[in-house]
Amino acid sequence: MEQKKAEIMDEGAMRRAINRISYEVIERNHGATDLVLAGIRTRGVYLAERMADKIAEVEGTRPQVVSLDITGFRDDHPEDPIACQLPQIDDIPQKTVLIVDDVLSTGRTVRAAMEAVLHMGRAQRIQLAALIDRGHRELPIRPDFVGKNLPTSRTELVRVYVKEYDGKDSVFIVTGAQSVE
């Protein structure tokens, strides 16, 4: 049962964070040529789509966006079979694949996403963007692009809501909730 919620980002703050990350991606990659955004299902896909739209607005070229179902690549749910459908990325050896996630915490989801990308082929480079980085790493993973660093206790959860899926844009810290990670 969720008890207490504290709003950390509203719609405007989310938009600004996504825009800033998009500009940083363009800057670090010297444009959007040979860039693919791989959003981790579910909310990471919507964030990746928004970033691709912003990159297209600035660069005039919209990077490919793919949806990553990493369920079968997780190491903390061994009962899950590798039954996910991997997207097709043309010329992956020449691409920089930017994995996009809503919340980065332990790093296990990102590790699974990297494994999924590697199953598609060897990308020139893999980068990571997270809207929220809350710490608590169990694996040595660090994002290249972060919307907001949000240190939390292990008893708190971060909930990201996106309009396309949840009907609103916001980020909350929730206490007293059951983890879904």
Per residue in 30-39, pLDDT tens?
A: 999 999 999 9
pTM of the model: 0.91
Which backbone phi and psi does 167 adopt, to 5 degrees?
A: 85, 0
Q: What is the pLDDT of residue 66?
A: 95
User: pLDDT averaged over the chain?
Assistant: 91
**What percent of the chain has a predicted confidence (pLDDT) above 70?**
91
Output the pLDDT for position 88: 81
Q: What is the pLDDT of residues 49-63, one digit of tens each?
A: 999 999 999 999 999
Q: What is the mean pLDDT of residues 106-111?
A: 95
pLDDT score at 99: 98
Rounded CA-CA distance 148/163 in Å is 19
| Alpha carbon distances (Å) from 105 to 69, 82, 149, 173 | 18, 23, 11, 13
Per-residue pLDDT at 36: 97
For 166, phi then psi, to 5°, come to: -110, -10
Q: pLDDT tens across 110-131, in order?
A: 999 999 999 889 999 999 999 9
Q: Is the pLDDT of residue 94 over 70?
A: yes
More confident residue, 154 or 178: 154
How many residues can be counted in the chain? 181
**58 burial via Cβ count (<10 Å: 0-12, 13-18, 19+):** middle
Whether the predicted pLDDT of 81 surpasses 50: no
Residues forming a β-bridge with 127: 98
